[in-house]
Amino acid sequence: MTQDLPARMLRLLSLLQTRRTWSGTDLAERLGVTLRTIRRDIDRLRDLGYPVQGTTGTAGGYRLAAGADLPPLLLDDDEAVATAVALRTAASGVAGIEETAVRALAKLEQVLPQRLRHQVTAIQATATPLPVPWSTGPEADPTVLATLAAACRDHEITTFTYRTGNGVTGRRRAEPYALVAATPVWYLVGYDTDHDEWRLFRVDRLTDPTPTGHRAAPRELPAADAAAYVAARLATSPARYTLHATVPADAETVRARTWSLPGRVQPVDETTSTLDLAADNPHHIAAQLLGIDLGPTHAIHGTPELAPHLERLGKRLLRAAHALTRQDDQSKQRAEPDARNEPAGRRQT
């Protein structure tokens, strides 16, 4: 049975939002109507402010494009809840997004049904983000992220200016594959067409992304997924300070207590593992080491220049420990009356 007009219009809009381009025939089959009806419904959407573009051909095609004004968005229940939760937490490592997220959330929550508000509140109450000292870092431009995200979605070849870690700046051309947020740094995984290989680009070093209008067939990533690819690349990337240790603990425990990337911890047997740490900031390595017992000192190797940093940090911890010990001793002395100054009768038990 053909849907009534309002329901069909909502369904049509929902379909247009899920795919870059639809043929008129596909839309007609999905909605159970004729091509003529589809054309009329498309005109109605345009009258409502939705910028639906048409393509020429036997059957014709349609795509929802960007317009001068933002028309209402159509979200199903799951999408609305996910969007509200994301806005409440605000994407980590994105410059200037917090205030904007609050404004957008206020608008969304105005129209959320009560049942969905309860879901959002429940998720937020049990999944509160925890800021940690080592989560600060370079922030990505939200406009750059949005452009790259669209290019990844559409498999559109994109050019951009990129600055390497050595400060060398140049123009790059790549097939964007995915964005990965390795808090607080955002990475673009893409295939560099000039060098004919997969590359990892830090988004905070990337400017002026420009889609070329040319689409490329998706390539097979040399990893299980984009996150695994980023983790593997980071685990093998050069760093100023390194430390290798054989640790008297199983690999799962060491990974959990040192927050290590996959590949940094390898099992030797059920009770022993090897740990490889690397960072440009010695404090990061020190923080990871605090969670484990390193065992014998002869099993530790690494960058000699790391030693004075760890020693200074160790002395700071010792001073803090000594201060707490003195405080505890003083508290005990105040709590225990001096028996020598008490009357004999009060010293009896």
Each as own residue / partner, the long-range contacts of residues 74-81 (CB below 8 Å, 24 or more positions apart, any chain) are 74/10, 74/13, 74/14, 74/17, 76/14, 77/116, 80/108, 80/112, 80/116, 81/116, 81/119, 81/120, 81/123
pLDDT digit string (tens) for 120-140? 776 665 554 444 444 556 677
pLDDT of 9 over the 80 cut: yes
pLDDT value of position 131: 44
Predicted structure pTM score? 0.57
Cα angle: 300, vertex 303, 307; to 5 degrees: 75
pLDDT value of position 122: 65
pLDDT value of position 132: 44
Phi–psi pair at 158, nearest 5 degrees: -135, 140
pLDDT value of position 200: 93
pLDDT of 86 over the 80 cut: no
Comparing 68 with 272, which gets the higher pLDDT? 272
pLDDT value of position 337: 62
pLDDT of 232 over the 90 cut: no
Instruction: Quote the domain boundaries for residue 150.
Output: 142-235
What is the arithmetic mean of pLDDT over 146-156?
A: 86
What is the arithmetic mean of pLDDT over 107-125?
A: 72
| Residue 349 pLDDT grade (very low, low, confident, very high; cuts 50, 70, 90) | very low
pLDDT value of position 68: 54
Residues 21 and 101 grouped into a single domain = no
Residues 278 and 276: their CA atoms lie apart, in Å, by 7
CATH code of the domain in which 162 resides: 2.30.30
Residues 228 and 245 grouped into a single domain = no
Lowest mean pLDDT among 134-138, 158-162, 218-222: 134-138
- Quick one: which of 177, 183, 216 has its CA closest to 200? 177
In a domain, 344, yes or no: no
Comparing 65 with 258, which gets the higher pLDDT? 258
Residues 87 and 60 grouped into a single domain = no
In a domain, 165, yes or no: yes
Lowest mean pLDDT among 51-55, 261-265, 277-281: 261-265
Residues 227 and 254 grouped into a single domain = no
State how many domains the chain has.
Answer: 4
pLDDT value of position 344: 55
Residues 327 and 251 grouped into a single domain = yes
